[in-house]
Chain A
Amino acid sequence: MTQKEKRSIVVLAVFMAVGLILFCVIALLSKGGERVVITRAGEELYNSPLSSDIELDYGTNTVVIKNGRVYVSKADCRDKICKNHKPISKTGETIVCLPNRIIVEIK
């Protein structure tokens, strides 16, 4: 194995190690969220406690808040990244629908 190849493997190993460490740190530090804030194109549509269960239909996207978790149940965008996203519940977590410029954030 050449020097270049050895260095490449080290680089890969370092990336993976750093990623794993960061992942554990973030997982340990994250707190349960308190409020859900939904904005469209920067304009605030919804800002209430995470504890209130509700289904919000905004035409292009439908956001569901239930049992302390938030997810997108319906979306008319092309890639549906927002809909396939795992439900969020911790402070700082977000679900974004870029084409419809909708951001669901837990604060």
Chain B
Amino acid sequence: MHNKVSIGGMLLAAAMIFSYLEHIIPFEFIAPGVKLGLANCVFLLSLICLGVKTAFSINILRILLTVLLFGSPVTLIFSLSGAIFSGVITVLLFKSKLLSVSGIGAVSGVAHNLAQLVAAMIVTGSAGVFWYFPVLLISGAVCGFATGVAADKISPRIKKFLK
């Protein structure tokens, strides 16, 4: 029990550092919303090692804290919609055991970007945002796949601490 809490705290801290890193090293010149999705890696790790509820708690806490520290309230809606939509899909895929972690990562990346596109469309009132869908589809899938591979390799080591 103690180990679960400390690993959870560590993952939350890691997620925040990743958010900050992505904030300072922007890939946004390719298209708005393109990012490495490192926070998705933490979500996958939390899901594999600590369970569904903890994974969601860590993700939502991360978003709230990150917005408080270095975001504007506008980004809150975007982050939350992306995280919740992709989170739900990730958990469903994980339980279904249809795909390996890398494939789940790819789908969550795409789902996250899709949710953000829809949120952007609602906020701006313009469907023009879907111009970016092809780029976000590719970058979301590739980066998601990579984060999935990373999570797959790291999770056994974390699980050792939880025995």
Q: Which of B12-20, B43-51, B79-87, B130-138 contacts the other chain?
A: B130-138
CA distance A16 to B140 in the complex (A): 10
CA distance A94 to B135 in the complex (A): 15
Chain A residues touching B, range: 20 to 34
Q: Are A84 and B128 in contact (CB under 8 A)?
A: no
Chain B residues touching A, range: 35 or more
Q: Which residues of A contact B103 (CB under 8 A)?
A: 4-5, 7-9, 11-12
Q: Which residues of A contact B133 (CB under 8 A)?
A: 22
B54 to chain A, nearest CB (A): 24
Q: Are B72 and A78 in contact (CB under 8 A)?
A: yes
Name B's interface SS. helix
Q: Closest residue to A10 on the B side, CB-wise? A: B103
CA distance A54 to B29 in the complex (A): 24
Q: Which residues of A contact B99 (CB under 8 A)?
A: 4, 7-8, 11
Q: Which residues of B contact A16 (CB under 8 A)?
A: 138, 141-142
Residues on A lying within 8 angstroms of B by beta carbon are 2, 4-5, 7-9, 11-12, 15-16, 18-20, 22-23, 26, 42, 77-79, 81, 84-86, 92-94, 96, 98-99, 103, 105
Q: Which residues of A contact B106 (CB under 8 A)?
A: 8, 11-12, 15
- With known contacts A5-B100, A7-B100, A94-B126, A99–B134 Cβ distance under 8 A: no
